[in-house]
Amino acid sequence: MAAVGTWSFSRPAVERMRCMLLAGQNATDVVETAVAEVEDDVDTGRHIVGRGGYPNFKGVVECDAAIMEGVPGRFGAVAALRGIAQPCRVARKVMEKSPHSLLVGDGAEAFAQELGFTSEANENMLSHHTATAYREFLEKNKPVAGGHDTIGLIALDLSGNITVGVSTSGAPFKSPGRVGDSPLPGCGLYADHTVGAAAATGDGDKIMCYCPSFHVVQLMKQGSSPNDACRAVLADIQRRIGDDKCFEIGLISLNMKGEVGAASSVEFPYTFWKQGLDSVEELVINQQKPLNI
């Protein structure tokens, strides 16, 4: 059993996952519950997740989320979803109830409503912090300070099931309808029950061009450790860009042995727990410098 999450603010979510895993719960239930609690917490919205997240340039919060099991073909996602505070729960319903794998915009909202989700007014999706940031953006064209957060969680349960989930409200003040890497399989997340899973965080418009989560899992499939796989994928991206000014990207991974790995182009704290540890731990990955190869 093991669990891992992106950024320091994932610690309560990973702690929740630890408790659920120790209670024998399924990896998908564990990931869905932990992600949903972060999504619905207005205080974590400033980390670009769910309720309290930053709106697009028209002032509307649009969320992307996805969930993927290691079992082949088990994936569901929503994008540009408005008015739903826990989009990861809708993504799971897409995986289980829809003939499609990805629903967007009005179609995603209609699907959610059909399954009993309540669409909330946009005002309820904003926090004081993000509403103020939006007013400053309109008045002063002031961008959001800081990096590209978003939540990514991976769980490996007692029965050997592995699931990864991601959620984000997307780039602050983005164009309406903009979708980043998070809900795209292979980009923001990927899982294979014979190998492990990975998730990405950072500049989604750039990340999606490299399918890093799929690449990490494939390298683990070829025998790399989670840490070596993450570092190799980041090094490959840096080489392909051709300079030392890589965009912001953080990667986490977990294999079926419960081993955890991470790599990042910036300082990147992540949290994890695995069987044998008494509590959730946090590690900080320093910026990975390009390799001269």
Known binding residue 33? Answer is no
Cα–Cα nearest to 227, from 195, 201, 249, 253: 253
Domain hosting 236: range is 2-285
3-state secondary structure of 259: coil
59 is an annotated ligand-binding site residue = no
pLDDT digits (tens, 9 = 90+) for 195-250: 999 999 999 999 999 999 999 999 999 999 999 999 999 999 999 997 677 899 99
261 marked as part of a ligand binding site: no
Its sign, for the CA torsion 214, 75, 46, 273, is negative
Q: Could you tell me if residue 292 is inside a domain? A: no
Mean of per-residue pLDDT scores for the chain: 95
- Please determine, for residue 17, whether its predicted confidence score (pLDDT) is greater than 50: yes
Catalytic residue among 150, 163, 168, 271: 150
* Confidence at residue 147, expressed as pLDDT on a 0 to 100 scale: 64
Does 181 carry a binding-site annotation? Answer: yes
Q: Is 178 annotated as a binding residue?
A: yes
Tell me the percentage of the chain whose pLDDT exceeds 90.
92
pTM score, whole prediction: 0.96
In a domain? residue 189:
yes
Q: Taking residues 67-96, what's their average pLDDT?
A: 98
Residue 291 lies in a domain: no
**How many independent structural domains does the chain possess?**
1
Residue 29, Cβ density class (10 Å: 0-12 exposed, 13-18 middle, ≥19 buried): middle
What CATH number does residue 24 fall under?
A: 3.60.20.30
Residue 293 maps to a domain: no
Confirm whether residue 107 is marked as ligand binding.
no
- Whether 150 sits among the annotated catalytic residues: the reply is yes
Specify if 89 maps to a domain: yes
Asked whether residue 183 carries a pLDDT value surpassing 70, the answer given is yes
Q: Would you say residue 290 lies in a domain?
A: no
Asked if the structure places residue 50 within a domain, the reply is yes
pLDDT, tens digit (0-9, with 9 covering 90-100), for 140-179: 888 887 667 899 999 999 999 999 999 999 999 999 999 9
**In this predicted model, what pLDDT tens digit does every residue of 27-37 receive, in sequence order?**
999 999 999 99
